[in-house]
Chain A
Amino acid sequence: YVWILFERDLYLINSKYYKIMSDEEFDELCFQFGLELDEITSEKELISKEQNDSKAAGASDVILYKIDVPANRYDLLCLEGLVRGLQVFKNKLEAPRYVRVSPVSGQPQKLIITKETAAVRPYAVAAVLRDITFTQERYDSFIELQEKLHQNICRKRSIVAIGTHDLDTTSGPFTYTAKPPSEICFQPLNQTKEFTATELMSLYRTDSHLKHYLHIIEDKPVYPVIYDSNGIVLSMPPIINGDHTKISLKTKNVFIECTATDLTKAKVVLDTLVTMFSQYCSQPFTVEEAEVVYPDGKTCLYPELPYRKEKLSGEFVNRKIGINESTETVAQLLTRMCLLSKLTGVGDQIEVEIPPTRSDIIHACDIVEDAAIAYGFNNITRTTPRSYTVATQFPLNKLTELLRQDVAAAGFTEVLTFALCSKEDVGDKLGKKISETGAAHISNPKTAEFQVARTTLLPGLLKTIAANKKMPLPLKLFEISDVVLKDKSKDVGARNSRRFCAVYYNKSPGFEVIHGLMDRTMQLLGVKPLRGEGYHIQAAEDSIFFPGRCAEIFVDGKSVGRLGVLHPNVVTRFELTMPCSALEMDIEPFL
């Protein structure tokens, strides 16, 4: 979940609420808009929850709202965007128009990308916020938005990294290049001396925040770095900025650079930052362009602040949602979602303008959803699809359902065990080599319990007995479920196989009980005890079973499974102490 945290009063003030809005009203507003008021809390409460009450003693008890935000709505990741979105939604504000402007005098700031960056982080975009006024709250929000973007769309800085700089402390043109770490040397943010990049990597190894980003570049031969025209380092993305250009409350002009491995996302990140915070520039919602020069000499102006136009019909929107509103109303609904919409005059055609804040709108279906949200999901009439369909059960599941009922009626209790297990469970413990089991292996298990997909149901049943030793004997358990076996004939190289497994655990092995269950199962499946065209069992050898106490089950001459008395080694390896007999067979041959 993506969430943001902000002071309740700041929301109210910024929304120009002169009367009190109750928490319930705000909760309801969020619900309609697709947000979730997750928690009403305070810094004090948060600290005491995470640490302890004594640590929270001096903390603020100003009321905070924690809100869950849809993962594709980067425009709602700060209070500025949230207030704007909700005010427009409530028809209390017109969505602002974001404008890219040229500098009042002189050339735009220039960021030159050299070809060395291709090896590590090839893309960069930039922009300038001119004559901005920070307050403590605005500044904190600006920093917090960068952090939220870093964690979400930037995928923990691996795809995009943001650097913001006090433009008045530096001078362009800026150069974005990549160098061996030993050749990069600068004073990083909040440090008092210079370090080489190599030194920084070891310095940050223990930094609770920065250590998570080191892996992005550490094994690369060259590290990305941005210099100004005097050779001062602005940043070493995606790790750290230089101390020289750091922004403060007094900063008036902000130079923003985003370096990336994905240009589309870099542009979205830059657009998000500048559309949110240009609100505080002397010319609100204007952003000064910057020129990016690519190694091939191509130049681009950023931010792009794209306004895209889509045309769709009012009828289409009505039909997709299941409502019947006039074209004008549909246009108004969309406008309340920051999608400025006008009738073109051609039939019921609506021209919808998608602003740079709404990178999540990539298809007409996204526009339809916004119309539905503005209409109110819960105002839509519930209808029933008209088509007539006849239900069919999946034959294997139908057989499983019928068989389970009757195996339980035969006195056995159903269990439900995991499809994943350790190699040992299906290998060593059963006296088998893991390579011979045909097991599918998991490459990234967090614990040994998830090393392989099970190839037999038996270990799960035996573990169930081991966890229920206090229960009165005998224990009679069964499971009908899938195992997984490698199979080259399938596109994914493996297939499920539906098995029936049962165990009898008591002071005596009770082979006759398991044998009786097998006979009963065959009776249920309509198979007669007959060699050839029916079923029979015959002695077999298997490391799972005690020698001379194992038989293979044949149906129409084909082996479908085994039954027998478990080998004492198997009993012991599953931490059991009593004799045990078991049965495991395929049920797919009986379809």
Chain B
Amino acid sequence: MLSPPTTTCNMADTGVVEALLLGLEKAEDGVDSLELSSSLGVEHQVVVGAVKSLQSVGEVISAEQRSSKHWQLTEEGVEISELGSHEARVFECIPVEGLLQSELMKLPFGKIGFTKAMSNKWIRVDKTSEGGPLIFRSVQTIVDQVREKLLNVLNGKDAELEEKEKSELKKRRLLSEVTVKSYWITKGSSFSTTITKQETELTPEMIVSGNWKDNKFKPYNFEAMGVPLDCGHLHPLMKVRTQFRQIFLEMGFTEMPTNNFIESSFWNFDSLFQPQQHPARDQHDTFFLSDPALTLDFPQDYLQRVKKVHTEGGFGSQGYKYEWKVEEAQKNILRTHTTAVSARMLYKLAQQKFTPVKYFSIDRVFRNETLDATHLAEFHQIEGVVADYDLTLGDLMGVLHQFFTKLGITKLRFKPAYNPYTEPSMEVFSYHEGLEKWVEVGNSGVFRPEMLLPMGLPEDVSVIAWGLSLERPTMIKYGINNIRELVGHKVNLQMVYDGPICRLDT
């Protein structure tokens, strides 16, 4: 990830660097690193080192990598280029008086050399001699063409060989064709044959002395990453929470005190006109408390009005007509929604002379549900509430439009829905450009008179409200599929470290 400015200049062979620059000065267009290495008689790798070091000091040269096919001697080819071909060596070792064929065959090059020398008609066999066949030279001198060709290749003059000859030598396994990578080096925009020593970094001394004016500095490698900082990070869900808070505050909403996870069933359900037999109040959906198990302290006259509206109605309602039990209302639970706090706030509001209010909260709620990749037993609910005289359903839609516009969501539509404590109730859908369909983004409604009137709010006051979860938009924003990677101790800290800032409207 991290690499300091290169310092290869020091490591490169200065002689080769100079030779390269001089060669380049003379060349019309450019030089090939491979040719240069053979003309200088150094390893190709040394020339490559010189190229790299020159590249690191700016635009002195420019080098383009290229690959070429190239003939190379095999191990056997190298041996022949040094000692001569097998057939030449056979010729050389035969004295004037001849050599027994059996003796010749004992030599390592004997067998192949004999055959080749015979076909070249350099030697002859006298099968009549006593003691076995004798071999004699049949010519005075020979030219060892095989060796000469190999030497040509070795000296980089393989162009002088015909293709046929090369393939013949290849067949004899003396030559092989290899691909060689080399550089095509040309003059750079600031080409010069002299390289001044480069400074690595600006120093305080240079600044004081003014030397920096005359110094040349090694270029930085801008391809590398910077040093990772030792820093703290905010959690993505909390970053999104901050933005939602900000949006509500921009819209003039006051924050509700939601720091009470434990709530009585009364404030969580009964005060919201949620009947006691409602499935949400089931053991399978709600966490009940064994300690502290009950709440006994309620505003008694209000409790009686709640009981009445459930049991027999009133306030214009038929009621649910069932036997409402205070024992059910007393049961303590972990709140299933922050609307329990909204109920407390609205009750409090009703005890004073009414003034219009806008409230919001973002806090934890708890559900004893089956857990999966997108559901946990606790999550954060975002809630907005407006209480004012004569609010309309159109007002609710307008407020929702403003709220979602701040989230960057402008295409909204509303679907009639059911909720025990709001009427009308609307599900909020937004058009998802990626999925090319409408997706649900929240729930909303107008609180029922059966909830508001027993609290003592004036009859012409309407209360509109909406809610959504904090986790879902966060998961979409940060591309997280499993909620456990986001919330709870199994969080992926790397994800927290790497997360961008949260701008909801972009």
- Point out residues on A near B: beta carbons under 8 Å: 31-34, 36, 70-73, 155, 159, 262, 264-265, 308, 319-323, 360, 362-366, 368-369, 372-373, 377-378, 380-394, 396-397, 401, 404-405, 407-420, 440-446, 449-450, 453, 460-461, 463-464, 466-468, 471, 475-476, 478, 482, 484, 486, 490-496, 498
Contacts and interface: CB of A to CB of B under 8 A. Distances in A.
B491 interface: yes
B302 interface: no
Contact of B232 (A383, A409, A443, A471): A409
A380 B255 contact: no
13 contacts: A70-B417, A265-B322, A365-B423, A372-B393, A386-B388, A389-B356, A397-B255, A409-B232, A414-B238, A418-B487, A450-B377, A464-B489, A492-B332
Contact of A155 (B279, B313, B494): B279
B355 to A, nearest CB: 8
A365 B322 contact: no
A384 B386 CA distance: 11
A34 B415 contact: yes
Contacts of B393: 320-322, 372, 377, 380
B273 to A, nearest CB: 10
Contacts of A366: 423
A66 B288 CA distance: 34
Given A382-B401, A411-B231, A418-B378, A466 B489 contact: yes
B221 interface: no
Interface string B279-312: 1000100011111111101100000000000000
Nearest to A398: B255
For B235, B250, B462, the residue with the greatest tally of chain A CB atoms inside 10 Å of its CB is B235
Given A377-B414, A416-B235, A443-B288, 7 more contacts: A70-B418, A380-B393, A380-B397, A387-B356, A412-B232, A413-B233, A449-B377
Interface string B409-448: 0000111111000011110000000000000000000101
Contact of B392 (A321, A409, A463): A321
Interface of B: 230-235, 237-238, 242, 245, 248-264, 277, 279, 283, 287-295, 297-298, 313, 315-322, 332, 334, 356-358, 364, 366, 368, 376-378, 386, 388, 390-395, 397-399, 401-402, 413-418, 423-426, 446, 448-450, 462, 486-494, 496-497
Contacts of A392: 254-255
A442 B290 contact: yes
Contacts of B390: 319
B462 to A, nearest CB: 8
A351 to B, nearest CB: 16
B496 A415 contact: yes
B295 A491 contact: yes
Contacts of A464: 489, 491, 493
Given A362-B313, A419-B364, A414 B287 contact: no
B489 A420 contact: no
Contacts of B414: 377-378
Nearest to B255: A394
A125 to B, nearest CB: 14
A450 B368 contact: yes
B491 A468 contact: yes
A365 B277 contact: no
A363 B416 contact: no
Contacts of B283: 444
A413 B493 contact: yes
Nearest to B283: A444
B293 to A, nearest CB: 7
A534 B317 CA distance: 59
Contacts of A493: 262, 292, 294-295, 332
B413 A383 contact: no
Contact of A492 (B248, B264, B320, B490): B264
Given A36-B415, A363-B317, A486 B292 contact: yes
B232 A413 contact: yes
Nearest to A265: B322
Given A380-B394, A394-B257, A372 B424 contact: yes
A414 B238 CA distance: 9
Contacts of A155: 277, 279
A460 B489 contact: yes
A383 B423 contact: no
A381 B395 CA distance: 9
B289 A363 contact: no
B292 A491 contact: no
Contacts of A496: 259-261
Contacts of A418: 376-378, 487-489
A420 B377 contact: yes
A378 B442 CA distance: 16
A484 B318 contact: no
Contacts of B487: 416, 418
B290 A443 contact: yes
For A262, A363, A466, the residue with the greatest tally of chain B CB atoms inside 10 Å of its CB is A363
A171 B496 CA distance: 74
B496 to A, nearest CB: 6
B245 A323 contact: no
A159 B278 CA distance: 12
Contacts of A384: 395, 398-399, 402
Contacts of B490: 467
B260 A495 contact: yes
A492 B295 contact: yes
Given A321-B394, A385-B388, A416 B238 contact: yes
Contacts of B489: 415, 417-418, 460-461, 463-464, 466-467
B279 A416 contact: no
A394 B249 CA distance: 11
Given A415-B491, A450-B368, A494-B292, A440 B262 contact: yes
Contacts of B232: 407-414, 476, 478
Listed from nearest, the 9 A-B pairs whose CB atoms lie closest are A322-B394, A493-B292, A322-B392, A34-B416, A70-B418, A463-B489, A387-B356, A443-B290, A369-B424
B101 to A, nearest CB: 75
A288 B181 CA distance: 99
A155 B322 CA distance: 14
Contacts of A393: 245, 249, 254-255
B242 A401 contact: yes
A448 to B, nearest CB: 12
Contacts of B378: 418-420
Given A443-B288, A444-B283, A444-B288, A389 B260 contact: no
A425 to B, nearest CB: 10
A394 B488 contact: no
Contact of A419 (B261, B297, B368): B261
Contact of A440 (B289, B392, B446): B289
Contact of A420 (B235, B245, B366): B366
A411 B497 CA distance: 11
A432 B99 CA distance: 104
For A410, A442, A482, the residue with the greatest tally of chain B CB atoms inside 10 Å of its CB is A442
Given A363-B449, A441-B291, A416 B237 contact: yes
Nearest to A484: B261
A484 B366 CA distance: 14
Contact of B494 (A320, A389, A415, A471): A471
For B250, B394, B494, the residue with the greatest tally of chain A CB atoms inside 10 Å of its CB is B394
A449 B249 CA distance: 35
A492 B316 contact: no
Contacts of A413: 232-233, 235, 493, 496-497
B287 A442 contact: yes
Contacts of B258: 394
Contacts of A446: 368
B418 A71 contact: yes
For B255, B320, B356, the residue with the greatest tally of chain A CB atoms inside 10 Å of its CB is B255
A394 B245 CA distance: 11
Contacts of B319: 362
Contact of A73 (B320, B401, B418, B488): B418
Contacts of A387: 356, 358, 388
